[in-house]
Chains A and B, each alone.
Chain A
Amino acid sequence: EVQLVESGGGLVQPGGSLRLSCAASGFTFSSYWMNWVRQAPGKGLEWVANIKEDGSKKYYVDSVKGRFTISRDNAKNSLFLQMNSLRAEDTAVYYCARAITSTESYWGQGTLVTVSS
């Protein structure tokens, strides 16, 4: 059974840092592009970043460039999102998602990040 389980969310002060993790199981993790997608409370979906199967290519939405870093550890079937210089507008549920544009798309249940003083 495919599973994506996010962790690492919580309350952080503006300017702080947080590292999200996504533990993958039930499939060959190293064969898929992986994504982070977020959703602010009561708002729509916003794609944050993605990373190629071998980690050689990474793309980011403009609003997080220079602050967030996506990475993966294929040996540990894990996806990460290092978030620095956090702002109030980064408050959202962060979803880990596999192959979001193919028939093999799969999403985790999300982890809530709250940036507030």
Chain B
Amino acid sequence: QSVLTQPPSASGTPGQRVIISCSGSSSNIGSNTVNWYQQLPGTAPRLLIYSNNQRPSGVPDRFSGSKSGTSASLAISGLQSEDEADYYCAAWDDSLNAFVFGTGSKVTVL
């Protein structure tokens, strides 16, 4: 059972803004940076956001991340059909001495 909780799903129409939340605790999000991963159907995951709000090269600026206390969120602005994917938050957990992923959120473009 994951220590980072995400909503199972989120959806929006093309062009809308979608926000995915990630809830943790003081031992993970509260004391370490948050990362977000995108997994398109049938493919390997790829890093979308690192260090709470940084985008690797090649990631569109439609994707943004933020963190406050023991929670984090991923926002997708100007939703596009190619954004249909599973999204996972993740962070190091100081109590478990392990890297932990969130439960995952499936984004559907209506």
Interface status of B97 (Cβ within 8 A of chain A): yes
Q: Which of A45, A50, A107 has the most CB of B within 10 A?
A: A45
Interface size class of A (residues with CB under 8 A): 20 to 34
Interface status of A28 (Cβ within 8 A of chain B): no
Contact B88 A108 (CB under 8 A): no
**A95 and B45 in contact (CB under 8 A), knowing A47-B100, A50-B99, A100-B99?**
yes
Interface status of A85 (Cβ within 8 A of chain B): no
- For A64-107 the 0/1 string (1 means CB < 8 A from B) is 00000000000000000000000000000001000011110101
Contact B44 A44 (CB under 8 A): no
Contact A105 B47 (CB under 8 A): yes
CA distance A45 to B88 in the complex (A): 8
How far does the Cβ of B103 sit from chain A's closest Cβ, in whole Å? 6
Interface status of A60 (Cβ within 8 A of chain B): yes
Contact B99 A47 (CB under 8 A): yes
Contact A108 B100 (CB under 8 A): no
Interface status of A3 (Cβ within 8 A of chain B): no
**A102 and B50 in contact (CB under 8 A), knowing A45-B45, A45-B101, A109-B44?**
yes
CA distance A100 to B49 in the complex (A): 11
Known: A45-B101, A101-B90. 9 other contacts (CB 8 A): A37-B45, A44-B103, A62-B96, A95-B45, A101-B35, A101-B50, A101-B99, A107-B45, A108-B44
Which residues of A are interface residues toward B (Cβ below 8 A)? 35, 37, 44-47, 50, 59-62, 95, 100-103, 105, 107-110
**What are 28 pairs between A and B in contact, CB < 8 Å?**
A37-B101, A44-B86, A44-B102, A44-B104, A45-B45, A45-B88, A45-B104, A47-B99, A50-B99, A59-B99, A61-B96, A61-B98, A62-B96, A95-B44, A100-B90, A101-B35, A101-B47, A101-B50, A101-B51, A102-B47, A103-B47, A103-B50, A103-B54, A105-B50, A107-B44, A107-B46, A109-B44, A110-B44
